Amino acid sequence: MIKKLIFMLATIVLLGGLFLGCSEKEEPKQEVPLSDGKTEASESPSASEQEVTLKVGAAVVPHAEILEFIKPKLKEKGVNLEIKVLDDEAQLNPALDQKQIDANYFQHVPYLDSVSKEKGYKFTVAGKIHIEPIGFYSQKIKSKDELKEGSKIAIPNNASNEYRALVLLEANGLIKLKEGLEDYSATPNDIAENPKKLKFVEVEAPQLARVLPDVDGAVINTNYVLEAKIDPESAIFRENSDSPYANIIVVREGDENRPEVKKLVETLQSDDVKKFIQDKYGAAVVPAF
């Protein structure tokens, strides 16, 4: 009788241990209280929950192509890059101002300063990426020495690029500008000396490649040269690589410190991007970092 009683007690203890073990395994996960009173599950959030979308407006070439190159790299860093290309690049700054995009990538500092002064934009530069040396192209001559008296030259009609074009012509001995010009602005009216009596046609920058057959030469931004499938190496002369006209990432003031913006700039200023630019564009596009 005593043996049976001991056996029954042992069985009860054993079964109690098994039930206790099962209840511990099935106990729901506890939530961890945070300092602000909220709770956090013990499991970390998924990658999709951590991902941030960044909308960047860009010119087609080379800007959007460079952004496409870094898109997978940013994905690995938790940034979903959305590239917005507008038919009219002049709308990229209004789009940024109206918060339709988070950043844009198509302009240089003199242009930004000029348009910000005119429109009152509160923008800042997040990083310098590349330079597109502006060049002089022609379908009628092979050398600047072939320019005759009264030759017709097309130049961009926006303030900063018009100044840039005239400075390029001055650097190559074709004209001389008045002294004391400021704010990266000048027009043909600011030419002090014009030995060949060159005639200047002011054209919207995106149209310069199209008017090339109708003039003796044109000063054209490299991005429009690339879009028009013109060989950048065919430029009769172009800016040096120390040009101050670096293309930049522009954001609204204060957004330059956003983590996703910093990741964008860091990735664009990487050795991989430098090699991509050099391999794809050669002398037409020069890294500015």
Q: Which residues contact 1 (CB under 8 A, 6 or more apart)?
A: none
The span from the CA of 252 to the CA of 30, in Å, is: 42
Task: Summarize pLDDT for 140-167 with one digit per residue, the tens.
Answer: 999 999 999 999 999 999 888 999 999 9
Give the pLDDT mean for 202-226: 95
Residue whose pair of structure tokens reads 């602000």 in the numeric block: 36
**Which DSSP symbol is given to 241?**
T
* Spatial contact of 95 and 107, defined as CB atoms under 8 Å apart: no
The span from the CA of 219 to the CA of 140, in Å, is: 14
User: Which domains are delineated in the chain?
Assistant: 49-133+245-287 (3.40.190.10), 135-238 (3.40.190.10)
pLDDT category at 133 given cuts 50, 70, 90 is: very high
Q: Which residues contact 233 (CB under 8 A, 6 or more apart)?
A: 282, 283, 284
Which position has the higher pLDDT, 17 or 264?
Answer: 264
Among candidate residues 84, 96, 90, 86, the one with its CA nearest the CA of residue 57: 84
Count other Cβ atoms within 10 Å, centred on residue 271.
Answer: 9
Position 44 pLDDT exceeds 50? no
Count other Cβ atoms within 10 Å, centred on residue 114.
Answer: 19
Task: Summarize pLDDT for 26-40 with one digit per residue, the tens.
Answer: 444 444 343 344 444
What pLDDT score does 244 carry? Answer: 84
Task: Summarize pLDDT for 161-198 with one digit per residue, the tens.
Answer: 999 999 999 999 999 999 988 778 899 999 999 999 99
Q: How far is CA 169 from CA 20, 118, 186, 193, 220, in A?
A: 89, 27, 13, 12, 12
The span from the CA of 133 to the CA of 43, in Å, is: 52
Task: Summarize pLDDT for 232-279 with one digit per residue, the tens.
Answer: 999 999 997 678 899 999 999 999 999 999 999 999 999 999 999 999
Task: Summarize pLDDT for 107-132 with one digit per residue, the tens.
Answer: 999 999 989 999 999 999 999 999 99
Among candidate residues 208, 224, 158, 221, the one with its CA nearest the CA of residue 187: 158
Give the pLDDT mean for 73-95: 96
Q: Which residues contact 83 (CB under 8 A, 6 or more apart)?
A: 56, 58, 64, 67, 68, 71
